[in-house]
């Protein structure tokens, strides 16, 4: 019975993978990501290894690509099969591949591997006869491919003539479309009401299979050549071959990285550097290829059914994956903002299973034309928070997403807050003539909304706030449901006995929680301000306010008589704008909020903010890009040396500290004339070394 279950699963996998192969190789319209495909493929491979009696002639593991059935193109048999490479997303499997190579030779044998980018395009074979380029053939099923010569001859970088090896040879490479060409092509198709291409590979494959060469000419393609089929005694290694192709004017990417097979640290560093570098390339690279450099050693290693034992590919995790938007849930945050959250068909994104993603707000949903049951793309913003980025296509089941009129938690009517536009202020009169605009977020204005209250409590205990390091969201929810904690000051009224009454809570755990709460009473003032959850007051603004006011009591000094003067004082703080000032004044004018602050003030004894002198005294800095240490480390370093960390770039900023992939902030700083520092330059400035 168990064997029959395996057989049924095997048959399902064969059918499903062959379907995806057809969509990918024949139609150039994949509906799942490479990672999802590889997961299915590896499951099939494991079944065939465990139960060889199940193996079917239809198994995709017996084929390289997919046998196309396009009657518009002549079928051509490759001189040598076009093999595919085994691949992984795991660095340890790359090292396992290298270990297998080492074990295949005597311990004294010198073994080198070359490392090259893996282009995400269409594999092609170019055939030369009597010195002329005569034929271009796609991979097809690895044995037979489509003759697409007419369209490939439009690629200007391919030599029309070559006398290499007497003019009779073949080369292989990857045809691709640049991102700029792809975006321009899709923009034109969108204007014409045509179906958009999913990605550059999809567009390149469609272009190669156009019957009309004049239409293909409007979609410029590029190629990099990476292999030479003709054997010759002068060509003994891969790097030697690439150099020969370059000398004969074939478009190659550049010199290959040649590494000792045991150079693990260098190999790992190359993978990391390419993962960063590929974001700035004009063409798609989805991984790195590792190959044994010496051709005689390749002969010794040989090949499997469909892939060589001397080559292997490491694939970078997908930046974006496609999935179905199943539903939309509404979350009510601590400030009352109602955030739509996409419920997704689960996908594995950068090593984690993602089933929820941000949709930002309902204006974003309208702008992207998103509907329930659409096929969408999802990625991680800043490699942390999943978000839906783009619509791929509507389906016949797609349903409009409507913005709610009432809070999903308490039923209170929702509204949009008016915010002042940023502008340079030249006089007090200009303050009275501020221009306002409606913000994008829908908000529940009921301060007693249970969702708002609970999320405010979770915010209060978080790491960058009061840092109750022994308490998590589940415990906060439990305390809230039991009525033990309804506002932040209630945390300081908890006892070991009251906590011990909770389900699965022992005396020791309860005491650890109370100790953590006690420790928070002497937190820095900026942490307390941050923990209050004032709209627009994040970490940076909390530090600005703490440095300016210096004490908790100053925040309690607002009353009806001094509201305007207090607003003016807030706006005078460099970095605090009109909208943030208005939000602070609104809260500090609320009797219930002031009462809560007074109760908290009785419990808390914040650390006194003192002015720090140092080489950065009076200087403001912003940090962007990837640094060698966590951002908190550099923020603390800057503060300890008298500097102030800002979140945004303006002409008033003194320095912008840039790591890898600095992005738009660097461009903005350059235009504003802000001095840019590297991580090393900042360290040198602070240490003198």
Give the angle subtended at the CA of 679 by the CAs of 675 and 683, to the nearest 5°.
95
Two tokens, residue 252: 């190659």
380/351 Cα distance (integer angstroms): 11
8 A C-beta contact, residue 239 and residue 92: no
What are the two backbone dihedrals, phi and then psi, of residue 668, each rounded to the nearest 5 degrees?
A: -65, -40
Strands (E), 337-435: 337-349, 352-358, 371-372, 375-381, 385-393, 399-400, 414-420
8 A C-beta contact, residue 315 and residue 118: yes
Look up tokens 């420790």; give the residue. 519
SS3 per residue for 582-616:
HHHHHHHCCHHHHHHHHHHHHHCCCECCCCCCCCC
3-state secondary structure of 157: coil
- 336 sits in which H/E element: none
8 A C-beta contact, residue 196 and residue 223: no
Two tokens, residue 623: 């940090």
Q: Give the other-Cβ count within 10 Å of 122's Cβ.
A: 26
Q: How far is CA 285 from CA 33, 185, 348, 378, in A?
A: 15, 20, 20, 19
8 A C-beta contact, residue 650 and residue 685: no
Measuring CA to CA, which residue among 308, 287, 292 is closest to residue 259? 292
3-state secondary structure of 348: strand
Answer positive or negative: Cα dihedral of 554, 556, 557, 561. positive
Length of the chain: 689
Q: At what angle do helices 679-687 and 631-640 cross, to 10 degrees?
A: 30
- 118 counts as catalytic: yes
Q: At what angle do helices 591-603 and 578-588 cross, to 10 degrees?
A: 80
Partners of residue 126 on adjacent β-strands:
136, 171
| Set 63, 118, 315, 379: catalytic member | 118
3-state secondary structure of 300: helix
Query: What is the edge-to-edge ordering of all strands in the sheet holding 132-138?
Result: 132-138, 122-129, 169-176, 222-228
8 A C-beta contact, residue 531 and residue 520: no
* 667 burial via Cβ count (<10 Å: 0-12, 13-18, 19+): exposed
Two tokens, residue 26: 């024949």
Answer positive or negative: Cα dihedral of 15, 18, 23, 24. positive
Measuring CA to CA, which residue among 137, 131, 123 is closest to residue 79? 137
Measuring CA to CA, which residue among 616, 465, 601, 469 is closest to residue 543? 465
3-state secondary structure of 240: helix
Active site residues: 118
């Amino acid at each position: 019975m168990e064997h029959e279950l395996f057989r049924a699963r095997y048959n399902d996998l064969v059918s499903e993978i062959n379907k995806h192969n057809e969509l990918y190789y024949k139609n150039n319209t994949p509906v799942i990501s490479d990672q999802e495909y590889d997961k299915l493929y590896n499951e099939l491979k494991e079944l065939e290894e465990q139960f060889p009696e199940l193996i079917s002639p239809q198994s995709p593991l017996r084929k390289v690509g997919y046998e196309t059935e396009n009657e518009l193109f002549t079928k051509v048999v490759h001189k040598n099969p076009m093999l595919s490479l085994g691949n992984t997303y795991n660095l340890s499997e790359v090292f396992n591949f290298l270990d297998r190579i080492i074990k295949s030779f005597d311990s004294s044998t010198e073994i080198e591997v070359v490392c090259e980018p893996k282009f995400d395009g269409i594999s092609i074979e170019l055939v030369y006869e009597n010195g002329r380029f005569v034929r271009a053939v796609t991979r097809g099923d690895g044995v037979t491919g489509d003759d697409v010569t007419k369209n490939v001859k439009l690629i200007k970088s391919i030599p029309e003539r070559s006398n290499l090896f007497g003019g009779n040879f073949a080369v292989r490479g990857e045809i691709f479309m640049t991102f700029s060409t792809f975006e321009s092509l899709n923009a034109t198709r969108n204007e014409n009401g045509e179906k958009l291409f999913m990605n550059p590979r999809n567009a390149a494959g469609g272009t190669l299979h156009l019957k009309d060469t004049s239409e293909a000419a409007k979609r410029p393609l590029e190629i990099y050549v990476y292999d030479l089929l003709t054997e010759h005694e002068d060509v003994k290694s891969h790097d030697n071959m690439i150099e020969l192709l370059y000398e004969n004017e074939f478009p190659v990417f550049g010199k290959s990285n040649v590494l000792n097979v045991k150079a693990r640290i260098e190999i790992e560093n190359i993978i990391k550097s390419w993962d960063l570098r590929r974001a700035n390339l004009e063409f798609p690279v989805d991984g790195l290829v590792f190959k044994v450099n010496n051709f005689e050693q390749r002969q010794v290693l040989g090949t499997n059914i469909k892939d060589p034992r001397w080559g292997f590919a490491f694939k970078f995790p997908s930046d974006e994956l496609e999935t179905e938007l199943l539903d939309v849930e509404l979350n009510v945050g601590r400030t009352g903002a109602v955030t739509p959250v996409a419920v997704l068909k689960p996908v594995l994104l950068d090593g984690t299973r993602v089933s929820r993603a941000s949709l930002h707000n309902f204006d974003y949903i309208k702008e992207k034309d998103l509907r329930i049951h659409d096929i969408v793309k999802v990625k991680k913003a800043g490699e942390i928070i999943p978000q839906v980025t783009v619509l791929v296509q509507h389906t016949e089941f797609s349903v409009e997403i409507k913005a709610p009129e009432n809070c999903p938690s308490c039923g209170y009517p929702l509204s949009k807050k008016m915010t002042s536009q940023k502008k340079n202020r030249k006089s007090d009169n200009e303050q009275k003539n501020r221009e306002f605009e409606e913000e994008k977020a829908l908000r529940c204005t009921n301060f007693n909304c249970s969702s708002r209250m609970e999320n405010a409590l979770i915010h209060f205990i978080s790491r960058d706030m009061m840092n109750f390091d022994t308490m998590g969201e589940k415990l906060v929810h439990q305390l809230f449901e039991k009525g033990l904690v309804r506002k932040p000051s209630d945390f300081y009224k908890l006892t070991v006995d009251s906590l011990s009454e909770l389900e699965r809570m022992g005396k020791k755990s309860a005491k650890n929680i109370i100790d953590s709460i006690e420790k928070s009473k002497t937190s820095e003032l900026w942490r307390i301000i941050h923990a209050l959850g004032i709209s627009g007051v994040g970490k940076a603004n909390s530090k600005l306010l703490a440095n300016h006011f210096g004490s908790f009591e100053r925040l309690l000094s607002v009353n009806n008589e001094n509201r305007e003067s207090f607003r003016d004082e807030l706006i005078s703080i460099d970095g605090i704008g009109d909208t943030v000032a208005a939000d602070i004044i609104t809260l500090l004018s609320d009797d219930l909020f002031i009462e809560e602050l007074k109760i908290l003030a009785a419990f808390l004894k914040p650390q006194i903010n003192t002015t720090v002198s140092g080489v950065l005294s009076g200087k403001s800095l912003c940090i962007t890009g990837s640094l060698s240490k966590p951002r908190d480390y550099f923020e603390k370093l800057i503060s300890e040396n008298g500097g102030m960390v800002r979140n945004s770039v303006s002409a008033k900023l003194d320095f912008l500290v840039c790591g890898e992939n600095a992005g738009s902030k660097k461009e903005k700083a350059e235009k504003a004339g802000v001095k840019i520092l590297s991580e090393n330059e900042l360290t040198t400035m602070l240490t003198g070394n």
